Amino acid sequence: MESKSIALLNNATKMLAEVQSIGQLPSALADGVVTNRRKSMSLRTSEIECAVVRYFNPRVNLIVPNVSWGFNLHECDLLIITRHGYAYEVEIKISKSDLYRDKYKAHKHRSERIKRLYFAIPETLLPYISEIPERAGIIVVNEHRQCRRFREAQAQTKYKISEHEKFMLARLGTLRFWSLKGM
């Protein structure tokens, strides 16, 4: 049994070496094989989301994804409460059409509780930043999932999130966590 496992591992290693050397799957293996290689270097929403979370540092700030209920606010891809008590919204866009559609949202990303609005985009969307409101900051994520602040967001309010609101948001974040665990 052990020798069979070693033989399978050796075959898999040889096939992987062949795939890497030619840059694609051999035609005999092309059907039904799943690889980690993506056709393009475009970033997925989850990759941008994780990069932005690292950028804003969850050890310092309260960061909750997909806030759409329970906080009496429009849907936010990421809602960040800074250690000073200010709320930042991050809207994640991965395509040109996604960016164009955003300007038709009824709420226009305006709230008396959101101090700053940022759009997080892959580098490939830089030519289309004219579609992003002037008041919004721009965070650009490169193919290595590193962020840089391309444009600072304008402050929209001086409202500070109350302790009760922080608790509500933290509760929403833990509900998301436990739902992923299957509860």
DSSP-H helix ranges across the chain: 2-22, 45-56, 96-102, 163-180
Q: Check residue 70 and report its DSSP letter.
A: S
Residues 52 and 11 grouped into a single domain: no
State the amino acid at position 89 in one-letter form: E
Residues 21 and 58 grouped into a single domain: no
Residues 31 and 61 grouped into a single domain: no
Spatial separation of the C-alpha atoms in residues 58 and 82, rounded to whole Å: 10
The candidate with the shortest Cα–Cα distance to 122, out of 102, 144, 104, is 144
Which residues are paired to 141 by β-bridges?
122, 147
Residues 163 and 97 grouped into a single domain: yes
Residues 16 and 96 grouped into a single domain: no
Chain centre to alpha carbon of residue 161? 23
Residues 62 and 120 grouped into a single domain: yes
Residues 66 and 125 grouped into a single domain: yes
Spatial separation of the C-alpha atoms in residues 114 and 160, rounded to whole Å: 9
Residues 54 and 33 grouped into a single domain: no
Residues 32 and 60 grouped into a single domain: no
Residues 76 and 157 grouped into a single domain: yes
Spatial separation of the C-alpha atoms in residues 110 and 120, rounded to whole Å: 17
Kindly tell me the sign of the dihedral angle through the C-alpha atoms of 70, 76, 78, 83: negative
Sheet with 62-67, side-by-side order of all strands: 62-67, 76-81, 87-92, 114-122, 137-141, 147-151
In this structure, what CATH number is given to the domain that contains residue 145? Answer: 3.40.1350
Structural domains in the chain (count): 2
Residues 27 and 52 grouped into a single domain: no
Residues 66 and 118 grouped into a single domain: yes
Q: Domain range spanning residue 111?
A: 45-180
What's residue 45's pLDDT? Answer: 93
Spatial separation of the C-alpha atoms in residues 69 and 176, rounded to whole Å: 12
Averaged pLDDT in 10-residue chunks for the chain of 183 residues: 50 47 41 42 89 96 85 85 96 92 74 93 96 96 96 95 92 86 77
